[in-house]
Chain A
Amino acid sequence: MGVGMDPGRDHEFAEFVDGRFTALQRFGYLLTGEWHLAEDLVQTSLTKVWFHRNSLRSGNAMESYTRTVMVNTSTQWWRRRWKGETPTEHLPETHAPSQYGTVDDRDLLLRALATLPRRTRATLVLRYFEDLPEAEIAQIMGCSIGTVKSNVSRGLAKLREHQLLTAVPAPAQKEG
């Protein structure tokens, strides 16, 4: 099913893709805020990674490089997204308020993340979702550790404005 000249490397790459897809999709969701965009982002990024797979010796290097490509690709998409505004005669229907507190909370977090600059958002996700050390984040983002620290600080401050970081929410309770 591979496409390269080296079936062994293709098989290895396919194993990496199938094994890590869900984890990368979650990371993509936190970068984009939409599941279908996250899947598209992961597939696009992995396609780019395929062309460099021979220079990535270990699985860790490949995953780290994939995250770099995902961050850069999502930033490029975002730069192009806002000019894609299309006027509509009728306003789209807004979704009804959720009956689940946790879902509201998720929605709030997504909206708060959407207000952050893309690279700040990616830094927060890498730091607090992926639990990566600052040095590794700096490598993925292609910036200095100082920039990572300032991005984290600015990002957290912004999320605090949304009163998101006050307490761990209680587990979801279905009403009624």
Chain B
Amino acid sequence: MTDDLKHKFEQLVADPPPPSAVPSEAVFARVRSVRRRRTAGVVTLAAAAVVAVAVAAGNLTDIKSEPPVTGTSKTVIGPPTTTTAGGTTGPTPTTTRTTPVKPPLAADIALKPTVRGRTVTMNVTVSGTVLVPTADGQNLPADTSFLDLSGGTTYDFGDGYTSGSDGGGVLCAKSSKKRTTGRETYQLETHTYTKPGTYTFHYTVEYCGTNGWFNTGKTTQLVIK
């Protein structure tokens, strides 16, 4: 049976087209292009670092060069305590510290259908704060789009047509601890209904949470005339 499969694989790749250019030259051209991009990236990063240092330096107060108090940690200090012969009077200094609250892990979906005749174009916006899933034992790269962080989507146009995608091997493992907040809008394939009527469109997306994958769904009614 497996010889059969090998034979079929060999048949499938029996006549590859000739490469569009000399392979090594094409690869070296790409290498040069990547190196140029990286060099440009380093220069930009260095410039950004210089600006950041300059801003930080300008932002220091002139009292022992301490940075100003930021909104994340608020310190309220009352009037100074005065000491008299009878003892200490006046209010005691009060300190209130507020720690930043992490947003809950949740996803949200917005559906925006456009109906033309019997054809529906559906714009989907997924957003929220989720855990970054892993692939090959590592977090997905930082530049992964919010939609690509999902474990898959399913959607149902209500007339028996369903579609979607799966996560392609990403895992929501216990090692997934990194939180990320994002938002992305994309368009589904257009769908044409064969008959008029009122249809219920349902969309579900799966994201990684503390207890594994969790589903978030959204439904909308489509009136097809």
Contact = CB atoms under 8 A, between A and B. Distances in A.
B20 A39 contact: yes
Interface string A50-90: 11000000000000000000001001001110110111100
A168 B7 contact: yes
Point out which of A25, A43, A165, A169 has the most chain B C-beta atoms below 10 A from its C-beta: A43
B190 to A, nearest CB: 4
Contacts of A1: 24-25, 28
Interface in A4-51: 10, 13-15, 17-18, 21-22, 25-26, 29-30, 35, 38-39, 42-44, 46-47, 50-51
Contact of B9 (A35, A46, A88, A129): A129
B24 A118 contact: no
Given A1-B24, A50-B27, A142-B137, A29 B187 contact: no
Contacts of B6: 128-129, 131
Nearest to B138: A142
A146 interface: no
B28 A2 contact: yes
Contacts of B32: 3
Contacts of B31: 3, 47, 50-51
Given A79-B167, A83-B148, A30 B26 contact: no
B7 A110 contact: no
Contacts of B50: none
Interface in B80-112: none
A75 B169 contact: yes
Given A21-B23, A44-B30, A159-B5, A26 B16 contact: yes
A137 interface: no
Nearest to B32: A3
A106 B16 contact: no
Interface in A109-153: 109-110, 117-119, 124-125, 128-129, 131, 142-143
A96 interface: no
Contacts of A44: 30
A3 B166 CA distance: 39
A86 B186 CA distance: 10
Contact of A169 (B8, B9, B28): B8
Contacts of B10: 129
A174 B1 CA distance: 26
A102 B11 contact: yes
Contacts of B66: none
B12 interface: yes
B168 A167 contact: no
Interface in B111-160: 121, 135-137, 145, 147-148
B210 interface: no
Given A50-B27, A105-B11, A128-B6, A39 B147 contact: no
Contact of A75 (B137, B168, B188): B168
B39 to A, nearest CB: 13
B16 A25 contact: yes
5 contacts: A1-B24, A35-B16, A88-B190, A117-B166, A165-B1
Interface of A: 1-3, 10, 13-15, 17-18, 21-22, 25-26, 29-30, 35, 38-39, 42-44, 46-47, 50-51, 72, 75, 78-80, 82-83, 85-88, 102, 105-106, 109-110, 117-119, 124-125, 128-129, 131, 142-143, 156, 159, 164-169
Given A3-B28, A118-B169, A128-B9, 14 more contacts: A2-B28, A3-B31, A10-B28, A18-B22, A22-B19, A47-B34, A75-B169, A79-B167, A83-B186, A102-B11, A119-B168, A129-B9, A143-B136, A164-B5
